[in-house]
């Protein structure tokens, strides 16, 4: 039979252990709550910073590995609601992109979208093959190149007869072009902003402006996690602040919208 002093000692030790565990649990819970709040504020601030940077970004041009001129610009990473709230700061193309996203959003969940503005400039067109037909008073100029194919016809040029004006007819004008379009991670820094680029295979095509959109959840630690990201995501999997999906799942879940002006 235990002595009263032994029972009291055991009781006091057990009480102290339980109290210690409770204190540690409360302390950890408080730290975790504080950490979650800090992470949420940090994430919200990061989204705001990326949106502000993308709103004022300019198009950058460079040659890719195949020698094609590539146009690149930061992507708008925000919710549709955030873009609506920032409507006064949107340019005309950004407003048009938002409008089209909202139209598609009614039936689908838009993951990414882009509005691309392109122009064709014939500023270095060489002289093609010239054929003069003196019988029909007609001149044809034609060429067949990889980047352009054309056949122009100028009629009634000879002889000069009063009241008869020369004519000009385009029988054919073809400019084949391939565009390589890519969403990719921008500068390697916190938040991993997304950039959108367009490469044209035809030298006569110039991408003058790009406005692109991606949901804010598309960040590298989630879409393409490192080993450490996978571990921390596993620890936080029960948290409602973590979204886990692969690129294939994300793309398959919604619509990708590309609009070319």
pLDDT in tens, 23-51: 777 776 666 666 666 555 555 556 677 78
In a domain, 135, yes or no: yes
Are 211 and 157 within one domain?
no
Range 199-211 average pLDDT: 94
Residue 220 pLDDT level (bands cut at 50, 70, 90):
low
Are 212 and 101 within one domain?
yes
Contact 239, 94 (CB under 8 A): no
In a domain, 36, yes or no: no
Burial of 30 (0-12, 13-18, 19+ CB in 10 A): exposed
Cα-Cα-Cα-Cα dihedral sign, residues 211, 213, 219, 224 = negative
Are 133 and 117 within one domain?
no
Pairing of strands 205-214, 76-77: parallel
> Structural domain tally of the chain?
2
In a domain, 185, yes or no: yes
Are 50 and 162 within one domain?
no
Taking the alpha carbons at both ends of the chain, their separation in whole angstroms is 92
Are 50 and 166 within one domain?
no
Pairing of strands 205-214, 179-185: unpaired
Are 62 and 151 within one domain?
no
Q: Domain of 95? A: 41-121+177-260
Polymer length of the chain: 261
Residue 132 has pLDDT above 60, yes or no: yes
**pTM across the whole model:** 0.63
Are 74 and 199 within one domain?
yes
pLDDT at 72: 94
Residue 60 pLDDT level (bands cut at 50, 70, 90):
very high
pLDDT at 37: 66
């Amino acid at each position: 039979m235990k002595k009263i002093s032994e029972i009291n000692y055991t009781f006091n030790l057990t009480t102290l252990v339980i109290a210690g565990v409770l204190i540690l649990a409360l302390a950890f819970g408080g730290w975790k709550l504080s950490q979650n709040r800090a992470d949420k504020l940090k994430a919200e601030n990061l989204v705001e910073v990326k949106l502000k940077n993308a709103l004022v970004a300019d198009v950058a041009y460079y040659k890719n590995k195949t020698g094609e001129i590539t146009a690149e610009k930061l992507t708008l990473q925000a919710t549709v609601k955030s873009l609506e709230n920032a409507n006064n700061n949107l340019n005309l193309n950004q407003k048009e992109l938002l409008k089209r996203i909202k139209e598609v959003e009614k039936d689908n969940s838009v993951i990414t979208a882009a509005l691309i503005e392109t122009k064709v400039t014939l500023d270095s067109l060489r002289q093609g093959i010239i054929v003069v037909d003196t019988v029909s008073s007609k001149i044809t100029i034609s060429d067949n190149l990889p980047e352009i194919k054309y056949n122009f016809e100028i009629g009634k040029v000879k002889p000069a007869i009063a009241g008869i004006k020369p004519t000009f007819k385009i029988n054919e004008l073809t400019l084949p072009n391939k565009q390589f379009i890519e969403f990719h991670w921008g500068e390697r820094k916190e938040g991993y902003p997304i950039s959108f680029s367009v490469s044209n295979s035809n030298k006569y095509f110039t991408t003058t402006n790009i406005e692109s959109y991606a949901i804010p959840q598309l960040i590298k630690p989630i879409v393409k996690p490192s080993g450490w990201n996978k571990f921390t995501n596993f620890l936080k999997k029960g948290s409602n602040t973590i979204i886990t999906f692969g690129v294939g799942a994300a793309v398959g879940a919604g619509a990708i919208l590309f609009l070319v002006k």
